């Protein structure tokens, strides 16, 4: 089965390498999503949604991959090709050592998918970004495109919480594939297992992948 998956990994890499631009300008990427009816163009963390949107369009060509993939509870995998796949973006801070830890899908839902298909795959684009200037020029542009300040942003201002600086671009460094099965899932951590929503209810745990863990199947391609 792994040989089949490794062939699929190579095929996916070739398809994405041929059509993904190596550098993403934030304004161009958001405008592209908006113009092409991507529902997530308003999101602040736009690189992940842009990558997901591009993967969906590239990998569904000629019915190469089923988009979307199977659903477990409220979690829908992004695609299906022999096994369920999910698409994630990982930003590297140039000034800090990268921890290599990436939150992914719901833990229980991933376990259900593993039990049904044997393996689950994560396709992770890893890269560096520059950030908005002190005048928040990029944020102001995005707010204007959205038609004004969002409800979420107004609530943040009311709480006097600091505004996170937006990424203005994304430069691809690697395309990383992580294959998880029943055994390697035990070597993955759990993210937000102790977090609670505003209503006091606990948040569902997510699979936390550590790219530096030798017990986890990681396939890397330089971009």
Please indicate, yes or no, whether residues 96 and 184 belong to a single structural domain of this protein.
yes
What is the spatial distance between Cα 5 and Cα 123, in angstroms, rounded to a whole number?
13
pLDDT in tens, 112-137: 999 999 999 999 999 999 999 999 99
**Mean pLDDT computed over every residue of the chain:** 89
Per-residue confidence (pLDDT) for residue 223, from 0 to 100: 86
Please indicate, yes or no, whether residues 137 and 216 belong to a single structural domain of this protein.
no
User: Which residues sit opposite 206 in a β-bridge?
Assistant: 106, 191
Please indicate, yes or no, whether residues 33 and 142 belong to a single structural domain of this protein.
no
DSSP codes joined into one string, the chain: -HHHHHHHHHHHHHHHHHHS-SEEEHHHHHHHHHHTT-TTTT-SSHHHHHHHHHHHHHHTGGGSSBSS--EETTEE-SEEESEEEEEEEEEEPTTS----EEEEEEHHHHHHHHHHHSEEEEEEEEEE--B--TT-HHHHHHHHHHTS--HHHHHHHHTTPPPPPPB-EEEEEEEEEEEEETTGGGGSEEESTT-B-TTSPBPPPEEEEETT-TTSEEEEEE-
For tokens 């609670």, what's the residue?
Answer: 196
Please indicate, yes or no, whether residues 85 and 156 belong to a single structural domain of this protein.
no
Structural domains of the chain, count: 2
- Residue 100, pLDDT > 80, answer yes
| Least confident span in 144-153, 174-183, 208-217 | 144-153
Q: How confident is the model at residue 8 (pLDDT cuts 50, 70, 90)?
A: very high
Per-residue confidence (pLDDT) for residue 94, from 0 to 100: 73
User: Which residues sit opposite 103 in a β-bridge?
Assistant: 208
Please indicate, yes or no, whether residues 159 and 190 belong to a single structural domain of this protein.
no
Per-residue confidence (pLDDT) for residue 9, from 0 to 100: 97
Per-residue confidence (pLDDT) for residue 2, from 0 to 100: 56
Q: What is the dihedral of CA 148, 151, 156, 162, to 10 degrees?
A: -30
- Residue 155, pLDDT > 80, answer no
Could you list the residue range(s) of the whole structural domain that residue 154 is in?
132-166
Please indicate, yes or no, whether residues 155 and 206 belong to a single structural domain of this protein.
no
Per-residue confidence (pLDDT) for residue 202, from 0 to 100: 44
pLDDT in tens, 14-68: 999 999 999 999 999 999 999 999 999 999 999 999 999 999 999 999 999 999 9
More confident residue, 4 or 26: 26
Q: How confident is the model at residue 199 (pLDDT cuts 50, 70, 90)?
A: very low
């Amino acid at each position: 089965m792994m040989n089949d998956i490794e062939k699929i990994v190579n095929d996916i890499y070739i398809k994405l390498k041929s059509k993904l631009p190596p550098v993403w300008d934030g304004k161009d990427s958001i405008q592209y999503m908006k113009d092409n009816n991507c529902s997530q163009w308003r999101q602040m963390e736009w690189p992940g949604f842009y990558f997901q949107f591009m993967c969906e369009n590239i990998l569904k060509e000629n019915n190469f991959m089923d988009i979307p993939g199977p659903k477990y509870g409220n979690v829908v995998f992004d695609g299906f090709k022999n096994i369920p796949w999910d698409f994630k973006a990982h930003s590297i801070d140039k000034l800090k050592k990268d921890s290599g830890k990436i939150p992914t899908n719901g833990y229980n839902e991933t376990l259900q998918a593993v039990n049904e298909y044997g393996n689950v795959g994560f396709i992770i684009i890893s890269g560096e970004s520059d950030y908005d200037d002190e005048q928040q020029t990029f944020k102001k542009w995005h707010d204007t495109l959205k038609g004004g300040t969002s409800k979420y942003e107004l609530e943040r201002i009311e709480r006097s919480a600091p505004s996170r600086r937006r990424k203005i671009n994304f430069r691809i460094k690697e395309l990383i594939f992580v294959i998880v099965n029943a055994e390697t899932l035990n070597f993955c951590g759990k993210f937000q297992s102790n977090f609670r929503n505003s209503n006091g209810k606990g948040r569902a745990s997510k699979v936390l992948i550590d790219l530096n863990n030798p017990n986890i199947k990681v396939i890397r391609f330089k971009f």
